[in-house]
Amino acid sequence: MLLTTVLPLTLSLFTSIHANAAPNVDLDKLDTPSTEMGQQVGKDTLTYANYDEVSVSHIDLSLTVDFDKNQLLGDAILDLVWHKASKELVLDTRELTINSVSVQNKSGQWQNVPFSLSKADKVKGAALRIPLNHENNAKVKVSYHTSNNPSGIQWLTPQQTLGKQLPFMFSQSQAIHARSWIPLQDTPAVRQTYSATITTDKAITVVMSADRQVLSNTQTQFSMPQAIPAYLIAIAAGHLKFAPLNNISGIWAEPAMLDKASKEFSDTPKMIKIASKRYGDYRWGRYDLLILPPSFPFGGMENPRLSFITPTVIAGDKSLVSLIAHELAHSWSGNLVTNATWRDLWLNEGFTTYVENRIMEDLYSRDRALMEQTIGYSELLAELEELPPQDSVLHIALGERDPDDAFSGVPYVKGQLFLVFLEQKFGREHFDAFVKDYFNHFAFQSITTAQFREYLSFNLLNKYPNVVSEAEVDTWIEDQGLPSFLVPPNSHAFDDIDIQRQTWLEGNISAQALNTKTWTVHQWLRFISEMPRINLNQTKLAELDSTFHLTGTNNNEIAFAWYSLALDNRYYTVLPALKQYLNEIGRRRLIVPLYQKLASTEHYDWAKDVYLNARPGYHPQTQASLDLLFADNPMEHSHRH
C-alpha cells in the first residue's frame, strides 16, 4: 500500500515479460548502484532471501489441514532459477518447524541435505539456510509444519463461524506473512507460479487463489499458471458453498451468508466488464469472491481469482460495494503490476484506489464517485494529523520496520490524489491511454518507484511538455504531507448536508426537522464525521441518537463513524451497543481506533475486559496490535512480530 531520489534507468528495462515465464525482478536492471539507508536501492530489506543469486520460479505444495492441532503440515517443493554462482539458498520463515530439507538429483531421486535456521527477528522471522550447488540443484523440498497460531493464518472454532457447524481457517499473507505458513522467498520482487494438493476432512471445503479441481472427498488440487508474488498465495477452508454470478464470477461463503452476499455483490460482473474496457483484458480467468467470517482483519484482500472479502460491507443496499471495485481493480494494479518492495506500496494502492473510483463512476455515477473521493480526502486529512511526518511520504523510507506500518491512508488516498492531479493536468483521454499502456507494459512484473518515474517521464511528461514538471512529481512522491498546489475533491452533494448540520448545531432546527429522507450512506457519513470532536452537547447527541437510532445501526461504516463521535464527546450511552459491535467484527479499521479512544479514557478497564473477551475471535494480526495497547497486563499469548 507506501516512496526518494529517482535514478536513471535504461529503456530496455521496459521489456514486457510473459505471465508463464515466471518473471522475477532483475536487480541488475532495477537501479544504478547506490545506497539508501545502508541498502542497495531497489533491494527488498524485509526478506532474507538471496533472490539476486537464485529465485523461486514455482512452488508445489502438498499440505494437510489439521483442525485438531490447528496446523498446516506437509511439503513445499521449490523450483529454482540460478542467476549467478552461489553455494546456498536462503528462504524466509516465521515460526515454522522444519522437519527435513532434500534436493532432487539428476536421476530424480530426493536426497536429504543439511540446513540451519537463524535466530528469529521480531519482524523478519528466521532465515532458512540451505547449502546447495548451483550447477546441479534445480529443485528443493522442505518438509515442515506451521505453529498453531501463525501470523498469517487464523483458525476458528465452529462457534466462531456463522453456521456454527464446522471449523474454519483462512490465510492473510500480505505483507510478509506468507513466510508463517510456507518456507519461501517472501518478497514482492519475486514472482512464481504455484500448484497445491490440499488434504482435509471430507466435510471441509478448501479454496485457494488458483484454479480448483476436486480430486476426492478429502483432496483438492489447485494450479496458478500466472506468476505472482508470495503475498498473493492464499488458502481458506471451512463450511463453504458456491453461487455463480455469471460464467467467470461467483461467490463462496458460508451457506447462511450466500444469498445475502450474492444479492449485495450482483454488480461484480458489470464491474469486470467496465474495468476491462477501460484498462485492458482481465487476465486471470475467473474472478470469485470469498466472504470470510467477521474476524477477517481487513476490508478485502486481492488474492488473484479469489478476492477475500469482509462481511462488514454487506449493508443490504450496495452502498459499500466500492470495496469490491477496489479488490477487482487490483487485478490490474497490484496483481498484474506489483510493487517490488513495500516502500513502493503506493504503486499498488494509489493506482488501485484511483481505478476503483473510476469503476464506481462508470457503474453508478460521477456524483457517487466524487462523494467517495471527498470522504477519502477528509479521512486522510484526519489521519495526517496523527501520523509521524515521515510516514506521510508516498515513497516511504521503511527500512527494516514492519511493512504493516506502511498501510495507512497515505499510499491509498494520497496516491490516488496524485493520479487525479495527473489526470486533471493531462486530460482523461491522454491519462487513460497512459494508464492502460502502463498496465500492459509492466504486465506480470514487479517494479520500483524509480521505474515508474522513468516510465512516467518518457511516456507522459516528455510526450506532453510544459504540463507537469519533474519538481511537481517530486513533491507528490518524495515530500511529506500534501502539496500546496493540490485542488481538493469537493462533492456538491454534501453542500446541503453541511448546511443542515451547521443549522442543527446552532440550535435553529431540531433533529426531527432535518431533511434526511434522500440521504445516501455517504451523506450520512459526511454528516456524522464532520461533527465537532470535543464538547458537543450530550443532549444534542442524545437527540440525534433517539431520532435516527444510530446506536446499534446495522451499517458498520455508519456505526464506526457514530461510535467514534460518541467516544470523542464522552457520550457513553453507546457502551452496551459498542461492546456487542466489538465482539461481532474484527476488521482492524473499524475496531482498533475505537479501542485506542477507549484506552485513553476512564473506561480503560472496561475496554480491556471487552478485548480479553473478544480476543479469541480476532485475527493474530489484530491481536498483535491490541496486545500492545493493553500491555500493562501481558496477554496469554505474546506479541507476535
- What residues act catalytically? 327, 412
Enumerate helices (H) and strands (E) in the chain, giving the number of each: 19, 24
Alpha-carbon distances of 327 from 26, 306, 364, 532, rounded to whole Å:
28, 10, 17, 33
- Torsion angle of alpha carbons 225, 229, 230, 232, nearest 10°? -70
Alpha-carbon distances of 497 from 92, 311, 503, 523, 530, rounded to whole Å:
51, 28, 10, 7, 10
Nearby residues of 118 by Cβ (< 8 Å), 6 or more positions away: 48, 126, 127, 129
Alpha-carbon distances of 381 from 78, 384, 386, 502, rounded to whole Å:
45, 5, 9, 20
Where b means 16+ CB within 10 Å and e means fewer, 102-126 reads bbbeeeeebeebebebeeeeeebbb
DSSP letters along 46-92, please?
Answer: T----TTTEEEEEEEEEEEEETTTTEEEEEEEEEEEE-S--SEEEEE
What is the distance, to the nearest Å, from the Cα of residue 597 to the centroid of all Cα atoms in its chain? 24
- Rounded-to-integer distance, Cα 416 and Cα 369, Å: 13
Nearby residues of 193 by Cβ (< 8 Å), 6 or more positions away: 20, 22, 57, 58, 59, 224, 225, 226, 227, 228
> Residue 288: which of 243, 256, 320, 321 has the closest Cα?
243
Q: Are 628 and 592 in contact (CB under 8 A)?
A: no
- Rounded-to-integer distance, Cα 430 and Cα 423, Å: 8
At residue 129, φ and ψ (nearest 5 deg) are: -105, 125
How many C-beta atoms surround the C-beta of residue 641 within 10 A? 19
